[in-house]
Structure formats: C-alpha cells, structure tokens
Amino acid sequence: MKIGYSFWGFLGDGITDTPDGGRSHRRTLVNGLASRGHDLVFLQPDRDLIEAGVDLSAYYRWDAGLPDLDVLFLEWRWPIPGRNTTWCGAAGHTCDLHRQAELLSHYTEQLGVPTILWDKDRQLPHDDPLSNHPAVTLCEAALHPSPGAVSLFFPVDDQVLDTADPSALSQLDRPTTLAYVGNQYDRDDAFNEYFAPAAAEVPHVVAGKWPDTRAWPQLNFVGRVPFRRVGAIHRSSVATVLLLPERYARVGQVTQRIFEAVLAGCLPIMPADVRSADQFVPSELITADGHEVARLAQHLRGVTGTAEHAELIDACLKKLAPFRLSRQLEVIANALLRRVVSAT
C-alpha cells in the first residue's frame, strides 16, 4: 500500500532544541513498514534537511502536495498556542497543525481514505468526532487505551532486543547513580514525589527542558542535550525513574525512555501509581515514593557489575517484548485490513 505518513519531527538526530521523542523509534517504524512492502511518502516538511542540514532524500521521499494514497498515517498534532495556532508567516509559527487539517480534510473527510491516527501524547479530546469516524483507526501508546482505540506502542527493532547482552551492560562504568532524561511537561508532581527526594541523596543528573527549577535548587539540571548524548547518559547511570504525566500513568502508557534506558543497561525504576506497572518492569523496581527510590538506587549502586545486576538487566529486557517492532507492524496490518475490508 502507498502510505502517506505525517509527523512533525526528525528521522535522524535532529537538533538539540526540540522535544521530539520520536527520534528513538520513528525510523524503526517506517523502515519496518517499508520492509513489509509498503511505499511511504512523508507529508510534513523535511525538518532533517531544513533544520538539521541532513539530506535523507536518497532513502525517503517527501511530498508537500496531496499525492494519491491508500492509507493516511498521522502522528497526531494538537494546538499549541503561540506556535501552530498563529497565522502562517507569524514569528515562531509552525505549520504542522494547518497541514494536518489539510490532510484530514482531503483524504479522510472527502475521499474516505483509511486513516491511522496515532495519538502518541494523548491529546485528542475524548469527544472529538475523529475518534468515531468510519475511516479512522485511533491508536494510543497505552496498555489500557481509550474505548475503541488500539494499543500501538513505540517500537524497538527485534534484532536490537535479541542481541542485547545483559552481562556486558552490567560491566559498564556507571559514575552516576540516578538519571532522568526528559522534559518538564506535566511532570512536576511525579518529579517531586519520586525523583527529587532520591536525587538529594545520590549522584544524579537531570537532562531536558526544565524552564522552572526554582523548587529544586539543590539538584543537577544540565538542560537539553543532543540526542546522541541521551544514550551516553543512560550508559553511565545505574538507574532512572520513569516519570509520567498523570494522563499517561492512569492508562499504562510508558514512553520511549524505558527502552532507551534498558538497552543501555540503565535500570528503570517505576512509580507504583502507574497502571499495570508490573507489566513493564520487574517487581523489584517498583517503588511507592521517593524515599524508596533512594533506598533502591543505593542498593542497585551496591550490586553494579554483579550477577544480580546482569539478571535485573536481563529481566528488564524481557519486559520490553510488548514494544517489539514485529508486534507493532502486526497491529498496523490488522488495523489496515479492517479499514480496507470495511470500505469494500
């Protein structure tokens, strides 16, 4: 099938000043779809070239028009005041929302083209007509998605999981006990509850966009870092805490940070208030508050490099099975089959 894929982000490393978490898994997904024989064309601007100066045109294709498609695939964009809600040409304007509206009007509304709407950030209003549109399959990256939605997790290449070596990862030098890589967005409560008390007791680092850190003057914030440094931070850290906004935690939606960390041998500590937490991490890594995080982080520091450490990394790798690319490709294939059958 010819799939028109709309995303506002990067396929490569992109730029430092961006919140695009899709860099960890977007290319994995589109390459996986291409490996299944699908023809992909990207429908938003080529930000890799425009902003990062990286030319990927030998591998991928972009189209600013309205090409013939069999399927429209959207990484859902939502209104961000002062950015994509302003008029085209205004200072700081990004046209992702306008382009998405154009695509939906043409393909979904006018032509009835099967549309996969991947609401990765849980921003689609529950009463939006699109969620019940006959051409639309709503996907969420949650274990317990909204009624009528399908679980589509952020993908990890099967071979990367199959070749990860827990013993080798356990032997890496890890001078930092606790790390967090991610932005402040809607995470203050989780940060206060689980990370800040522990970080006050152990060597730590917080990387990402945190515009207001006045509540935690004693903590080590280093600001946004280049995408490639994310892996380096995790490889040099014993553990991280999976901090989630409440709208993620209540439906069991864990971000790409879990596999970014585990594949680097950085153990993911999970707050107990995340729904179905034990489906994502071993029970030993689930904690009730920041003081438990501190005790656990100190224990993990003490076993670094031992057989226990390697066994914990291995257990975390096994918990990543739901994120396998092969599983996500089957989810998409089943969604497409349903829509194509219903349209005939």
Cβ-contact 270, 286 below 8 angstroms = yes
pLDDT above 70 coverage of the chain, percent: 98
Examine the pLDDT at 48 and tell me if it is beyond 60: yes
- What is the arithmetic mean of pLDDT over 220-249? 97
Same domain membership, residue 279 and residue 243: yes
* Sequence-distant (≥ 6) Cβ neighbours of residue 271 within 8 angstroms: 190, 193, 194, 241, 242, 243, 244, 249, 277, 286, 287
- Burial tier of 67 (Cβ tally within 10 Å: 0-12, 13-18, 19+): exposed
Q: Which two tokens stand for residue 89?
A: 């040409």
Cβ-contact 318, 179 below 8 angstroms = no
Q: Any idea what the CATH number is for the domain that residue 28 is in?
A: 3.40.50
Same domain membership, residue 238 and residue 128: no
Q: Any idea what the CATH number is for the domain that residue 297 is in?
A: 3.40.50.2000
Give the pLDDT band of residue 342 (cuts 50, 70, 90): low
Determine the pLDDT at residue 83.
87
Same domain membership, residue 101 and residue 56: yes
Same domain membership, residue 163 and residue 273: yes
Report the DSSP beta bridge partners of residue 221: 206
* Sequence-distant (≥ 6) Cβ neighbours of residue 92 within 8 angstroms: 82, 83, 86
Same domain membership, residue 182 and residue 74: no
Determine the pLDDT at residue 340.
59
Same domain membership, residue 117 and residue 86: yes
Same domain membership, residue 238 and residue 122: no
Give the pLDDT band of residue 97 (cuts 50, 70, 90): very high
Examine the pLDDT at 344 and tell me if it is beyond 70: no
Same domain membership, residue 220 and residue 143: no
Q: How far apart (Å, rounded) are the C-alpha atoms in residues 290 and 33?
A: 41
Edge-first strand order for the sheet with 71-75 is 39-42, 2-6, 71-75, 115-118, 136-140, 150-151
- Determine the 3-state secondary structure of 228 from DSSP: helix
Q: How far apart (Å, rounded) are the C-alpha atoms in residues 262 and 260?
A: 6
Same domain membership, residue 127 and residue 27: yes
Examine the pLDDT at 339 and tell me if it is beyond 80: no
Q: Which two tokens stand for residue 210?
A: 């945190």
Same domain membership, residue 75 and residue 108: yes
Determine the pLDDT at residue 337.
76
Cβ-contact 281, 316 below 8 angstroms = yes
Which residue range forms the structural domain that includes residue 225? 158-322
CA angle at residue 73 from 67 to 75, to 5 degrees? 125
Report the DSSP beta bridge partners of residue 42: 5, 62
Pairing mode, if any, of strands 150-151 and 176-181? unpaired
Same domain membership, residue 339 and residue 307: no
Amino acid at 103: L
Q: How far apart (Å, rounded) are the C-alpha atoms in residues 330 and 66?
A: 27
CA angle at residue 182 from 280 to 308, to 5 degrees? 40
Domain count, the chain: 2
> For 65-87, what is each residue's pLDDT tens digit?
999 999 999 999 999 898 889 98
Same domain membership, residue 191 and residue 94: no
Examine the pLDDT at 127 and tell me if it is beyond 80: yes
Q: How far apart (Å, rounded) are the C-alpha atoms in residues 331 and 208?
A: 32
Determine the pLDDT at residue 89.
87
